[in-house]
Structures are given as C-alpha cells and as structure tokens.
Structure 1
Amino acid sequence: MYRFSYSEILEDAPQLARERERMAFDRALHLLRTVEARGERGAERTAAIAFVQDLWNVLLSDLLDPENALPEALRSDLVSIGAWTMGEVGEALRAPERSLAALIEVNTSIRDGLQ
C-alpha cells in the first residue's frame, strides 16, 4: 500500500483535505459530546479523548513540518492551540471527573474555521 504524506494530499486536493479535516473534527466532537452527555468515566471516555489526541498529533506534525505552506502566524497560532489541547487531553485522562467542555468548545471553533 502506498502512503502519501499529509502535505502531498493537501497539494493535490486542498478542498478534499479540508473536508477530511472537518470530518475528523466532526468525529472527535461527536465522541467528546457523547461521553460528556452520558457522564462516561471509563473506556469510552478514554477512547474519545485518545481520538482527539491522535488527531492533534497528526495536525501538529504537519504544522511543524518546514514545508507546510500555511502562513507562519497561522501555523504558530494553531501550534499553540494544539499544545493547549494536548495539555487538556492529558488532564482529562488523569482526572475522569474533569469536564470536556473546553475541549469541545476549542475543537468546535477550529472545525468551524475550516469551512
């Protein structure tokens, strides 16, 4: 199986890449909202948080790539948001009683900005 780098996909089809990003954020938000609404404290909550963590790992890797074509200021802002998200994810994993509202709010804003 041939694997493309994220930047190659973005170059070839920027609209498709943005749609995939929106879909990934939609999935993450659905998972977070579901476990928050149910008051989940177990494996389902951990899986939802891990999905957000994985999503931001991919995004941060791309944002830190020197070949990323986004304007430097935007990249810097997104890296800061990603760093905050990763910290919040860590706190949410350590404290099952912690609300996911801030993660939901920030990731909703990022998802909405992709449109």
Structure 2
Amino acid sequence: MYNLSYAEVMDDLCSDERLNEHEAMCIIIGKLATAQEKGIRSPEAIDALFYTRRVWGFFMENLADDANQLPEEMRANLISVGIWVLKEAEALRQWEKEDFSDIIEINSIIRDSLAG
C-alpha cells in the first residue's frame, strides 16, 4: 500500500489543475487562431469566442474564491487580465474588432506561465 504525505497529494492535485488549465488555454488559442484564419463572421469565430468566455468565466470565478491559494495580488492581476479578455472577446463578437492577435497573444502568455 502506498503511503503518500498530504503535501505530496496536494502537489499532485495542484499539478493536475495547472495541467488542465494549460490544456484549456491551448484549446482557446487553437480556436482563436482558426477564427483568425476563417474570419470574424465565421462559425469558428463564434465557437472560439464562446469557448474563451466560458473558460475565462470559470477561471475568474475560481480566482475570486477565498479558498484559492494563489497570493491575493496575483489573483487580482489575473482577474484584471480576465476582464480584459472578456471585453476583447465581446468587441470581437460585436464585430467592433476583426483582429484576434491581441487576445491570442495574451492567452499565449498565460498559457506559457502555466507550463512551468
């Protein structure tokens, strides 16, 4: 029988959560890149923006939870990024913007920070 310490179990859980978040960001970036290729009025753009909004909504809800163990300042900064992403997604959805490069870049930075 395995005898794992609490710290080892928590490290594994946190690692899995970061891996899941990293994977979600990879999916977002892939969908946004496809939307960039297909155009703002494509079904791919609608799908990419819908998925982006859902994932970031989940992230922000998790970041706002008092049980979240990230430092408060980091949580606040990430929530600010999330607000920007949601505003950018809405501008794209409303066809006020047509270029996905900024939202792709920000999501790529967040994804890359989750890989470490």
- Pairwise TM-score range, normalised by the shorter structure: 0.7 to 0.9
Q: Which deviations, in whole Å up to 9, do the C-alpha atoms of 1:62-104 show, x marking residues without a partner?
A: 0001111100110011000001011111101001752111100
2:49 matched to which residue of 1?
A: 49
TM-score (norm 1): 0.85
TM value normalised by structure 2: 0.85
The equivalent of 2:81 in structure 1 is 81
> Runs of 5+ in structure 2 lacking a partner?
1-9
Matched, 1:100 2:91: no
**Residues 40 and 93 of structure 1: is their aligned pair in 2 closer, same or farther, counting only changes over 3 Å?**
closer
| Residues 1-115 of structure 1 aligned to structure 2 (within 5 Å) | 13-95=13-95, 98-115=98-115
Aligned residues with identical type, % of pairs: 28
Q: What is the Cα deviation at residue 37 of structure 1?
A: 1.9
CA–CA distance in structure 2, aligned partners of residues 65 and 58 of structure 1: 11
CA contact (8 A) 2:25 2:111 kept: yes
| Structure 2 SS opposite 1:68 | coil
CA apart distance, 1:11: 7.6
In structure 1, list runs of 5 or more residues that go unmatched.
1-9
User: What count of residue pairs does the alignment treat as equivalent?
Assistant: 106
For the Cα contact (< 8 Å) 2:34–2:44, is it kept in 1? no
1:73 and 1:20 mapped to 2: Cα distance? 23
Q: Aligned Cα RMSD in Å?
A: 1.7
Structure 1 ranges of 4+ moved more than 3 A? none
